[in-house]
Amino acid sequence: MRILLPAQDRMLLSCPVRLPLGDRRLEQRCWRLLPEDGSPAVLGEVVERHGGPTLLWVVHWLPPGRARPYRLEAFPEVEYTRHGGVELRVVGTTAVEVSVAGAPLATYHYGPDVVRPYFYPLIGPYRHSLTRHFPMRTDVPGETHDHPHHRSLWVAHGDVNGADNWSEEPGHGRIVLRGRPRLTSGPAAGVMEAEHDWVSAEGQKLCEETRRVTFYASGWGVRLADFELRFRASEGDLRFGDTKEGGLLSVRVAETMKGTAGGHIANGIGGRGEAECWGKRAPWCDYSGLVESDVVGLAIFDLRTNFHYPTYWHVREYGLMTANPFGLSHFLGDRTRDGSHLVPARSELTFRYRLYCHAGDARAARVDEQYLNYAFPPEPRWVEEP
C-alpha cells in the first residue's frame, strides 16, 4: 500500500497527520511508514474517529514545496515502545505519568487533596521544566510565591454559575475527577480521557466536563498535545461568567521565562509583550525565554471552531498565559460588554486547543506555520498501485 503526502507551502515540523481508511481494512493497529524520499521511517497507528478508522502518524520534518510518498508495512505492536512511542501509566492512585520515546513529558495530578487537576512537571526540549515549580514545590531558589492557584498547566474558570473555580481563596469551588482516567498508549500518540464534575464551595454540582488530551510522538525540539474540553450542562442551565480570572487552558511559565525576567510574549496578530497581547484576540499566543542556558517556549493554539474564536488572552509579564473567551468587559475596558455565555440545560459546549512546546523563541520555532498546520492540517491520500 502506498500513501502520498502532497507538498505544502509551509514547513511541517512534528505535525500530526491523519488519513481515513475508507473501505480499506488494516487488520492490525501498528504500522511502519517508509518514506520513498530516503527520510527515516516513522510509526503510525489505526485510531477510531467520528468518521471511522483513521491512520495517524507524525511528520517530523518536511520542507515547504516537497511532497513525500510512503510505503506502508505492518509492524509488531509489542515493539513500538522501543521506537519512540507515547506511554501513559497510572502512578499510585493519584497521578498519570506521560512519556515520549522513554523521556518524561508530564504528570497529571488528580488526588482528593487536589483542588483542580493539573499537569506538573511539564518537560520541554532539552528536558527543562517549562513551568514554575511553586506551589507544588517551595524549595526552588529565586521563585516567587504569588498566585498559589497557578499550578503549572491547568483548566479553570472564575465564574461558573457564580462559583469561583479559579482561585483557592476561601469559598472556592473544585473540579473533581470521577472514577479514574482512561489511558491509551500508542506508537504515534497516547490519549488520556477523564470525567470531571465542577462543584461549588458548598459541594453543589455545577456541570460535567470530559477532558481528552492527546500526546503525540513528536521529534526533537517539540512536545505536542491536543486538548478537547467538552462541558455538559447536566444540572440545568450553565453560565460561564464574564471575568478575566480564568482560562480554559492556562499555564504559569518557568520563573526565568517570564517577561519580567527577560522572556518574550508574542501572539498571532503580531503583538509583542503584555501591552500588545493582554486582552487582545488572536489565534495563538506564545511565551518564550531562557531556562538554564537554553531558549525554550510554549504556545497555545485556539481552534477555529471554538466559541469566540479567535479567543482573548489573559497573558501577563509575571508569567501567566491563559485562553479566556469570556472576559470581554475586562479586556475591552467596557462594562457594557457582557462576555458571559449560557449553555442551555442538557446541551454541550466544546473547546479544542493545541499546546506546542518548542526550542527557541516564537520566530525560530515557526509558531505561525505550526498554527496553520493545526488549523488546516495536511491531507494525505492513498495511491493506487498500478
Residue 385 has pLDDT above 90, yes or no: no
Q: Which pLDDT value is given to residue 82?
A: 73
Give how many domains the chain has, as a whole number.
Answer: 2
Q: Which helix (H) or strand (E) holds 251?
A: strand 246-252
Q: What pLDDT shows up at residue 13?
A: 94
Residues 160 and 227 reside in one and the same domain: yes
Contact indicator for 282, 248 with CB cutoff of 8 Å: no
What is the percentage of the chain residues whose pLDDT exceeds 90?
A: 94
Residue where one domain finishes, among candidates 81, 102, 118: 81
235 with 371, same domain?
yes
Q: What average pLDDT does the segment 136-161 reach?
A: 97
What's the pLDDT score for residue 27?
A: 87
| 232, 326: one domain | yes
- The whole-number average pLDDT for the span 83-92 is 91
| pLDDT range class, residue 384, cuts 50, 70, 90 | confident
Q: What is the DSSP letter of 235?
A: T
Domain hosting residue 241, numbered range: 86-375
Query: Which amino acid does the sequence have at 40?
Result: P
Per-residue confidence (pLDDT) for residue 77, from 0 to 100:
83
My answer on whether 119 and 145 are in the same domain is yes
Q: Assess whether 284 and 301 both reside in one domain.
A: yes
Element (H, E) at 5: strand 2-5
Find the CATH number of the domain harbouring 130.
2.70.98
Stretch among 20-29, 56-65, 280-289, 330-339 having the lowest mean pLDDT: 20-29
State the average pLDDT over residues 323-342: 97
DSSP conformational letter for 248:
E
**Domain-embedded: residue 225:** yes
Q: Is 161 in the same domain as 223?
A: yes
Question: What's residue 386's pLDDT?
Answer: 63
pTM recorded for the entire structure: 0.97
Tell the burial category of 298 from Cβ atoms under 10 Å away from its Cβ (0-12, 13-18, 19+): buried
